[in-house]
Amino acid sequence: MAIVVDGGGGSTMQICAVSPLDQQGAIDNLVSRVEELERIVSELLGANLNANQLSDISQQVGWVYGITYMGVEGWIQTASGSLIPPAGWTLSGSGILVDSDGVEYQGVLMDSDGVLQYGYTASGGVAGVLAEGYAKDTMVLSAASQTLDSFNEALIFSAIQFQSGSSISWNGSTTLTLDLPGTYIVTFRIESASWNTPPTATDNLYMRFSTALDDAGTSNPNFYFPPDATGLLPDFKTIVIHKKTSHAATLTVNFRNVDGSVNLTSSLSIVRLDNK
């Protein structure tokens, strides 16, 4: 019902009844609002949520499990939107560190053009443009038992045990080639040695490169094996060679002793440390 004030200036009040149509409209409005609330509550209880992207509602729904990302199932998204990978997932095994050469790396550094600058392979090797300045060329040669009984006799290597890189090579017998300039560590190891004819003066043994590695052409890197107190030779010697572009690339390891004959089993390893 409604209260109506008479506009004629009097104080008489009239009460009018609300029409059935107005009542029905109010009831229908309330019913619609209740139905909408029921629908919203039902969707919330059933987690039937819709959004353009998960980040829009992630803070409301908390952590989300079972997400598929990068083709891998089991990722978890936190309320802040960050992703947690599933157990056992690794960056190296994801396939995103595979270079254009098909090699899979444990970690890489690429330039803006996608050229590999530095990368560790799954086997522990190092590759890339920046890796050129670090050790990547290694060679180990072995010399089976052979008798050296003349002055300045070349040592014959019988087998190659390991080679990595291309700056160091071997011709299959006596000649070594260091193609690139740089700093090299060279280690000569005596596996066994026995004198067939001992030298007159001492059991000293010299191994040297036949070609000089200096601009003056006078310095031959050499390995000197003096005898110890028991007359036995020490196991190994290591020298460092700094080879420049102007130096000879082809080298031969020679046995040098004034007299005497020795039966020798040995190995030679060369590692290039840098290219400077």
Question: Looking at residues 146-166, what average pLDDT do you find?
Answer: 85
Which amino acid, residue 5?
V
pLDDT confidence tier of residue 98, bands split at 50, 70 and 90:
low
- What pLDDT score does 104 carry? 63
218 in the same domain as 117: no
pLDDT confidence tier of residue 75, bands split at 50, 70 and 90:
confident
178 in the same domain as 70: no
250 in the same domain as 184: yes
Q: In this model, does residue 216 exceed pLDDT 80? A: no
In 3D space, the residue among 42, 51, 78 whose CA is nearest the CA of residue 62 turns out to be 78
In which domain, by residue range, is 60 found?
Answer: 52-89
Cβ atoms within 10 A of the Cβ of 93, count? 13
Q: In this model, does residue 6 exceed pLDDT 70? A: no
Question: Looking at residues 181-205, what average pLDDT do you find?
Answer: 79
Between the CA of residue 150 and those of 27, 32, 176, 207, 256, what are the distances in Å? Answer: 121, 112, 21, 13, 8
- Percent of the chain past pLDDT 70, that is, above it, reads 64
| pLDDT tens track for 55-71 | 666 556 677 888 887 77
Q: Which residue has the higher pLDDT, 53 or 5?
A: 53
Q: In this model, does residue 264 exceed pLDDT 70? A: yes
Mean pLDDT over each residue of the chain, to the nearest integer: 75
238 in the same domain as 222: yes
162 in the same domain as 248: yes
Question: Looking at residues 135-144, what average pLDDT do you find?
Answer: 82
Which string of b and e fits 180-208 if b means at least 16 CB within 10 Å? bbbebebebbbeebebeeeeeeebebbbb
> CA-to-CA distance for 139 and 187, rounded, in angstroms?
11
Which of 4-13, 58-67, 91-100, 129-138 holds the top average pLDDT?
A: 58-67
228 in the same domain as 144: yes
Q: In this model, does residue 242 exceed pLDDT 70? A: yes
202 in the same domain as 117: no
pTM of structure? 0.51
Q: Which residue has the higher pLDDT, 258 or 19?
A: 19
Bridge partners for 143 per DSSP: 266
**Which of 79, 110, 129 is the C-terminal boundary of a domain?**
129
258 in the same domain as 151: yes
257 in the same domain as 188: yes
Can you list the alpha helix ranges (DSSP code H) found in the chain?
20-45, 58-61
Q: What is the CATH number of the domain that holds 225?
A: 2.60.120.40
Worst-scoring range by mean pLDDT, 23-27, 82-86, 169-173? Answer: 23-27
146 in the same domain as 83: no
User: Looking at the 3D structure of the chain, how many domains does it have?
Assistant: 4
199 in the same domain as 116: no
Which of 10-19, 40-49, 167-176, 190-199 holds the top average pLDDT?
A: 167-176
242 in the same domain as 182: yes
